[in-house]
Chains A and B, each alone.
Chain A
Amino acid sequence: MADSALPTGDNTLLRETTPLRDISGLERFLGPENYRILRGLLKTPASILGFILIALFIFIALAAPLIAPPLTPDDPYKIPRDGFTSEPRPMMSDWTRNAPPLPFWWKPIMKTDHWVHILGTSQGQYDVFYGIVWGTRTAFRTGFIVVIATFLIGIIVGSVSAYYGGAVDNIIMRVVDVFLTLPFILAALILAAVLTPKIGRSLIPSIIALITFGWMGYARVIRSDILSVKERDFIMAARVIGVKDSQILFRHIIPNAIFPTLVLASLGIGDVVLTFAALSFLGIGVNVGYADWGQVLSFARNWITSLNMYWYIIVWPGLTLTLFVMGWNLVGDALRDVLDPRMRGKT
């Protein structure tokens, strides 16, 4: 067909045009689907609030050394403590000993050289402010590590299951079912508790436990989406063309099937951080004094009966955790709405 000229005859079709929309460079770059998703995400007030919250937490995490300069730069996650007495001290009370360095913004704003416990101290004189600021990093680390790991495991397991089908699919999905029958927190708690003496107190036991019992949702969702995309005509078209099976999976099936799983992942970050805090609250995982929201909350355990006096030791870490989870949930919800096929064309 090399030197084929246009077929002679009328070329009216060349002139026939459907009204094509003007398209911005960004849309051209992202592709229509991704652009639509982005636009939808930036449209609702709830999702914008979600993004603002997440951005705020990202800022806190990145700027932690500036917001709350650590007392021990080698081990910044160690919450500095002002003594060893048990009774919490109120907000804005002075540091009496072991005061960490003043942050650069303190003096210009407060006109004083005294570094105070902005949010008070909790039981054991752990500084709540430091716990929250450095705990943000812990939250992001655990959240991202667990979600990325469970997401990848889920995608691989779900894809294999959907791709091979038949007996393989059946066996894999029954294994998923078995995992799903285990009560999540209890299972994670037991595994983390068993692992802690073996590998020492750190973030790792809880992370492993959360990964082990957290991947099934992703596997199920991606599997069902792959099964439905697989039946669409353009997959058959790719086979007719002679595209290799692996390329069909990676170039045609997964890009069209992955979004619902991404929604789940964005909702999952808040969930993971919440569960991690719960484990930490129960005393599993990190060393006492490690900056982690669950840990800060656990300091308040003995003062639950007198929270009218010491409310700040539970309200601030609790609020932080709530806002963090809420941020991810708002974004996840918005993502889900945008990807809902019934919403197509409305945004």
Chain B
Amino acid sequence: MSADNDILLRVEDLVMHFPIYRGVIQRQVGAVHAVDGISFDVRRGETLGLVGESGCGKSTTGRTILQLYKPTAGHVYFDGSDLIALKREEMRWMRREMQMIFQDPYASLNPRMTVEQIIGEPLMVHNVGTRNEIRERVEHLLELVKLNPSFASRYPHEFSGGQRQRIGIARALALQPSFIVCDEPISALDVSIQAQVINLLQELQQQFNLTYLFIAHDLSVVRHISKRVAVMYLGVIVELAERKDLYSNPLHPYSQALLSAVPVPDPVIETQRKRVILEGDVPSPVNPPSGCRFRTRCPIAEAICAQERPEFRELKSGHFVACHFAERFVQ
């Protein structure tokens, strides 16, 4: 991975273990290996999709990047500066550049604040402008996310899920960030509203040259919005590639299984295509399998998979995969 100017965010060997304490003296008895050594770059202006099933560490990755958790190890470089080395106050300042959109539009807005207070809060805490300027700006932001500016004095409970999510987007945009972590921003919404929000996110991206880390478990949504896609399984990234490459030629057995689960809207193809059905459940992240994380469910696992953790290597140009036997799938 080269260090050119093109890269806005670089994650290096990021590890996030949540310790588990037990007993009276709160002895640490173990740790949840939520994120276990992942590396990737996000380029300026692109959308990097991050997919994986529930509990694989996608959200933790997003939150750890934003320093909402203190990572166990690794580095996060944003625009060249190492966020982990930043002091508290410096990081607080840095937050102007990096924002987040949350999954649950009902939980992510303070029920006791008006829309104006919610969207104006980032401006207030960073001392951007006077009260009147903030008010104007809030109205402008509401227009930007296509809400009626006269809604500013209303409370979140008066809005629908989609409207609330747009309030959340307006809040994220308030400080004019360059990077936004979208943590499953549409999975809590009705299907009819999902498209609106996706289109809004894309419009805003073009307008303000935003960079997204788009976390989702819906593969077709990720395919629609992402330029590149990373697939996560049990705390590690197993595959990372251009969207086209990944969807047409997945190299990791897990990605293959995941993609084969996406229904094809054509009955002829749908009845003929082969599905990879995975056996068993995802192992516990408290005690992940040795070697390759996926070996317990992998259809092609061999002895080496239990002994050696597969290297995350670039097999084709821009196509990274962590599997000992990925070569056999290259087309």
Contact = CB atoms under 8 A, between A and B. Distances in A.
Interface string B107-133: 111111010000001100110000000
A4 B208 contact: yes
B38 interface: no
A233 B102 contact: yes
A31 B163 CA distance: 19
Contacts of B204: 7
B107 A256 contact: no
B26 A167 contact: yes
B95 A242 contact: yes
Contacts of B146: 11, 13-14
Interface in B74-104: 92-93, 95-96, 99-100, 102-104
Interface stretch (B154-162, B215-223, B254-262, B320-328): B154-162
B112 A33 contact: yes
Given A242-B95, A242-B126, A31 B112 contact: yes
B144 interface: yes
Contacts of A236: 63, 68, 100, 102, 108
A176 to B, nearest CB: 16
Contacts of A244: 92, 125
Contacts of A7: 144, 203-204, 207
Contacts of B290: none
Interface in A206-259: 232-234, 236-244, 247, 252, 255-256
A166 B28 CA distance: 12
Among A20, A21, A239, A242: residue with most chain B CB under 10 A: A242
B154 to A, nearest CB: 7
Contact of B203 (A9, A17, A170, A243): A9
Nearest to B93: A242
A237 B104 contact: no
B158 A1 contact: no
Nearest to A243: B125
The size bracket of the interface on B is: 35 or more
Contact of A240 (B66, B111, B143): B66
A112 interface: no
Nearest to A237: B108
Contacts of A103: none
A241 B171 contact: yes
A243 B103 CA distance: 20
Nearest to A18: B160
Main secondary structure of the interface of A (DSSP, over half): helix
B160 to A, nearest CB: 5
Nearest to A21: B158
A178 interface: no
Nearest to A232: B107
A18 B144 CA distance: 18
A6 interface: yes
Contacts of A21: 158
A115 B207 CA distance: 86
B159 A240 contact: no
Interface in B132-150: 140, 143-144, 146-148
Interface in A1-36: 1, 4, 6-7, 9, 11, 13-14, 17-18, 20-21, 23, 28, 31-33
B284 interface: no
A166 B125 contact: no
Nearest to A235: B110
B249 interface: no
Contacts of B103: 233
Given A21-B158, A256-B110, A242 B92 contact: yes
Nearest to B123: A241
B54 interface: no
Contacts of B126: 242
A4 B207 contact: yes
Contacts of B92: 242, 244
Given A233-B102, A240-B66, A241-B95, 14 more contacts: A1-B173, A1-B207, A6-B144, A11-B146, A18-B160, A23-B158, A31-B112, A32-B157, A33-B112, A166-B26, A234-B108, A236-B102, A239-B68, A241-B99
10 contacts: A1-B176, A7-B203, A13-B166, A23-B158, A31-B112, A31-B114, A233-B102, A233-B108, A236-B100, A256-B111
Interface of B: 26, 63, 66, 68, 92-93, 95-96, 99-100, 102-104, 107-112, 114, 121-122, 125-126, 140, 143-144, 146-148, 153-155, 157-160, 163, 166, 168, 171, 173, 175-176, 196, 200, 203-204, 207-208
